[in-house]
Amino acid sequence: MPQNPTKIVDELGIALANLADAATGSFTPTLRLGVTGLSRAGKTIFITALVHNLLTGGRLPGFTPLTEGRFIGARLAEYPEATIPRFAYEQHLEALTAKTPYWPESTRRISQLRIVLKYQSAKWFSGMSGPSTLNLDIVDYPGEWLLDLPLLGLSFAEWSAEALERANRPGSGREAQPFLQLLEGIDPLKPANDGDAEKLALAFTDYLRRSREHGALSTLPPGRFLLPGDLEGSPALTFAPLPAQGHSMRSTSLYAMLEHRYEAYKDQVVRPFFRDHFARLDRQIVLVDTLRALNAGPAAVADLETALTSVLACFRQGETNVLLRPFVRKIDRILFAATKADHVHHTSHDRLESILNRLVANATKRARFAGAETKSLAIAAIRATHEGSIKEGGETLPTIIGTPMKGESLDGITYDGKTEIALFPGDLPARPDSLFEDGAPVSLNFLRFVPPQKLDRNAEGDLVLPHVRFDRALDFLIGDRLA
């Protein structure tokens, strides 16, 4: 897609917003962290764990400012943009720490939160003036919206061609068939009417929803079709891809109507999101549910790679010229995180990271060429399992121990959400490229587990959230700004 999908007026709006940020941050610098991820990747859990650990000084041996004794503390602050919903940190933490804990609801809209960090700088000239502060602004938004960004570089005809090509692939037949059958019976050149538009949009949305349920990700745009919010039923969400027309058409045709609505969706929904939020980020973490794709097979893995590559092409990456910083923001660090690392034994974490590196290889090359620093980690922001071992056939197998969520099933057993089990999750392949090969075996037993039932407390009496490599993720994302 084009490197710059915005218009001149968008660039002016972005520059003015950045200038306002710089003015308000003249005394306290601000770091804007974007937390993104595709469906069920764990964005809400990550942000809740991040805020709680900073507020309570959690067990973070890999977080350099804390281990060096320079991190003084943190507090929540009023977010400067009153029109943006606040991330519901307290409610999410209550869900995770309740007597019967449960995972909070997934992200369904954009939300933001500001946390003020106080630290002692390691630099002698800064340390002489006393403690320093940093505003950490966390921007959370649904992964489905993230997949809309590539649309800014595509015309209706181009998007339709790509969407219909994916729908006609052999692996998409079951999900796409009802929509494709409806499309065959409609003439795009007929006079426009809302009835046809609504039928097509409904059938296309059903296809997208079924695709998401079966692990397909790059087929999801337009993302607001699945999470419409206040836009449900609006013309901007009532369109669908149509076959290319080889000759001119009347402005009153069905094709012209849907093309106009597609452009309205880009201009009134996608572009403001990019301009007002996405283009103003300094750091980015991309959460990836790698294990779910592995379970679904080679097609889902390849689909995940396609989705990540196309989305990350929209990031404004690289170092910003010092003179331009008040007007231009770029993402100078990107962390790719394979979530749910607690669903496999720690002996497989390095392999999980290698698989993630393979998935984001193209995006990583582009980011580094632009001047951004990247890193890949296998993490669990909140660990739901612990480890053990079992003997089977004279062999000792490493296991994970946890309580599967109610309704989860494996080998003919359906769990009740109360029974703890020891599970050998299987072995991840040593060669990541094998995952893209047809028939590649991935012997992985993947179950969803309930949150940890018993939590420790620190010396101050605060609850401690167990994790996997979360401290290393936090250190990469903000540690250098607390130096």
Would you tell me how many other CB atoms lie within 10 Å of the CB of residue 128? 8
Mean pLDDT, residues 437-449: 74
Mean pLDDT of the chain: 86
Nearest residue to 14 via CA among 247, 385, 330, 458: 330
Residue 400, token pair as written in the block: 């994970």
Q: Could you report the per-residue pLDDT of 355-375, keeping only the tens digit for each?
A: 999 999 988 888 888 888 999
Starting at the edge strand found earlier in the chain, the sheet holding 373-378 runs 71-77, 111-119, 132-140, 30-37, 283-288, 333-338, 373-378
Residue 396, token pair as written in the block: 């000792």
Percent of the chain surpassing pLDDT 90? 53
Report which of residues 152 and 200 the model is more confident about: 200
Would you tell me how many other CB atoms lie within 10 Å of the CB of residue 194? 10
For residues 332 and 317, what is the distance between their CA atoms, to the nearest angstrom? 6
Assess contact for 293 and 215: CB atoms under 8 A: yes
**Full DSSP string of 412-475:** TEE--SS--EEE--B---S-GGGGGSTT----B----BPPPS---B-TTS-B----BSHHHHHH
Q: Could you report the per-residue pLDDT of 250-273, keeping only the tens digit for each?
A: 889 999 999 999 999 999 988 888
Question: What are the DSSP E strand ranges found in 340-429?
Answer: 373-378, 386-392, 395-402, 409-410, 413-414, 421-423
- How far is the CA of 446 from the CAs of 137, 282, 294, 391, 397, in angstroms? 34, 34, 10, 20, 16
Domains and CATH numbers, the chain: 8-141+277-383+467-482 (3.40.50.300), 152-268 (no CATH), 386-436 (no CATH)
This prediction's pTM:
0.87
Amino acid in position 57 = G
Q: Is the pLDDT of residue 131 over 80?
A: yes
Helices of type H across 168-280 = 173-184, 194-213, 254-265, 271-276
Residue bearing tokens 């940890």:
452
DSSP state of 240: -
